[in-house]
Every structure is written in structure tokens, then in C-alpha cells.
Amino acid sequence: MSKSPAFQEVKWTAPSGRNVVLYDGLCKFCIAGMKRLLALARPGSIEPVNFQEPGALDRFPGITHEACMIQMYLVTPQGRVYGGFEAAVRAMATRPVLGRLAFLYYRPGIRQICNGIYGLIARHRYKIMGKRLAAGDCSDGTCALHARGK
């Protein structure tokens, strides 16, 4: 996954008190994925947060809008940050049986394959299912930049 030179992976942020998943609430693919992830996780164990909402990232120092445009993040109750496919693995691990299966992700080779597929999908997510727009969104034309890809 190509990341901008200014992108720096965050490993810790302010403790959230619970598992929080930061996702792109303007992306139809991401919204559907969040619904699936919530169904797979232990009920009530994940708080979904649309990072596109004003002030949503204020709770999580160090996690930028730019970083969230590249991948989703899971913030643990202690403030540990996991990104991309690993965030989904950690969310599914809230259920004991699924957790055992999800941790197959850490087997040699599996992690690289999953991260590669995740990165490809993340880069093209607006092309896959489109973008949810509210009235007045994109008056400055920035949505077209993300929809075209990089």
C-alpha cells in the first residue's frame, strides 16, 4: 500500500475505555464492512466512529484524517492502535471462537497477503461501491480527488 511521505503509523493514542473502530462513513463499501464487522464482533464490544464527522478524531491524538483515509483503525481500551486488516482481526477477536480463527492472520505469509488485498481495496473503495454524499457535500470538489484514486 503506497503511503504518503508524511504518513506515520501511530501505535498508541489516548485510552478510549473501549474498542473503537474508526471507519470512513462516506464510503458505501466501508459502511457495509462496518456492519459486517459489528455482526462478527461480540455484541457491544465495538464502538464504530465515522472519522469523517467533525471532531471525531479529537479523542485520538496522533491519528490524522490522512491516516484514516488510508486504512481503518481499531483503538483498544488502553489506547493501542491497530490499522488495516489487523484492526478487523482484533475486532473479530472479541469473540472467542472467531478470535482463534482470526489469529490465523499472524501465520507466516497470511498477514502479507491479507494486508496486500486490504490495501488494494482501501485505495479503490470509492470506485467499488461509490460514495455516500449528504446535501452540500463536496462543494469544493475534493471528493472527486479521492474518487479518482491516486
96-148 confidence digits (pLDDT tens): 888 888 889 999 999 999 999 999 999 999 999 999 875 455 554 555 555 54
pLDDT (0 to 100) of residue 133: 74
Residue type, 39: A
For 17, left (φ over 0), alpha (ψ -120 to 50), or beta? Answer: left
Q: Which pTM value belongs to this model? A: 0.83
Q: What is the distance between the alpha carbons of residues 100 and 144, in angstroms, rounded to a whole number?
A: 41
pLDDT (0 to 100) of residue 31: 97
What's the CA angle centered on 103, arms 97 and 108, to 5 degrees? 150
Mean pLDDT of 53-78: 97
Confidence of residue 81 (pLDDT cuts 50, 70, 90): very high
